[in-house]
Amino acid sequence: MEIGQPSPARVRPGGPAPLLLRTEREHRTGLGTVSVLRARGTVDADNAGHLSAALAVHLADAERAGEHPLLDLTESYLACAAALRALAGPAGALARAGRALHVVQPRPHVRETLAAAGLPGLCTHATLTTALRALESAATTPTEPGTAPTQPRPPQG
């Protein structure tokens, strides 16, 4: 999925940065393909639905292709509660399935917002490298037949 156009939100001089979404895929030895949805700009009430829909499609595409999905918010700003709800739906669906949405560490104000919201199913990481290490660790950790997968960790603050 390649979405390089600004969201339908109006762009005003001096206003919020338009939301740009882009998917990048990378093959990692021992892990397979990692699909990273990079969000750049401001997530606000006007475009939160766009992010939520794009994230849901990203997760579904990664599931079908057997890829490991990541969300990169390092260049994003969550401007309102609608932005949190945009993440809550897709992350909640993963949490109910016993999985986590790995989020590359956002800026401090976004990290604090995510931590305060306590959204289930989000697992934040300081860098893309630490997110990839966590995915590799989870992929190599064997589970006993008949046991439930490890529950996602709460957001780190």
Q: Give 138: exposed, middle or buried? Use CB within 10 Å, 0-12, 13-18, 19+.
A: middle
Establish if 154 belongs to a structural domain: no
Q: 108-117 and 81-96 are packed helices; what angle lies between their axes, rounded to 10 degrees? A: 60
Both structure tokens of 64: 């079908």
The string of pLDDT tens digits covering residues 21-65 is 999 999 988 889 999 999 999 999 999 999 999 999 999 999 999
**Do the beta carbons of residue 46 and residue 12 sit within 8 Å?**
no
Question: Is 78's pLDDT higher than 60?
Answer: yes
How does residue 154 score in pLDDT terms, banded at 50, 70 and 90?
Answer: very low
Strands 32-43 and 20-28: antiparallel
Instruction: Give the structural domain span for 63.
Output: 2-140
Residue 73 sits in a domain whose CATH number is 3.30.750.24
Establish if 48 belongs to a structural domain: yes
Separation of alpha carbons 94 and 38, rounded Å: 19
Establish if 45 belongs to a structural domain: yes
Number of domains in the chain: 1
Q: Which helix (H) or strand (E) holds 140?
A: helix 128-140
**Do the beta carbons of residue 37 and residue 72 sit within 8 Å?**
yes
Separation of alpha carbons 87 and 56, rounded Å: 9
In what order do the strands lie in the sheet containing 20-28?
2-3, 20-28, 32-43, 68-78, 101-104, 122-125
Tokens 């401090």 belong to: 108
Tell me the whole-structure pTM to 2 decimals.
0.78
Establish if 93 belongs to a structural domain: yes
Establish if 152 belongs to a structural domain: no
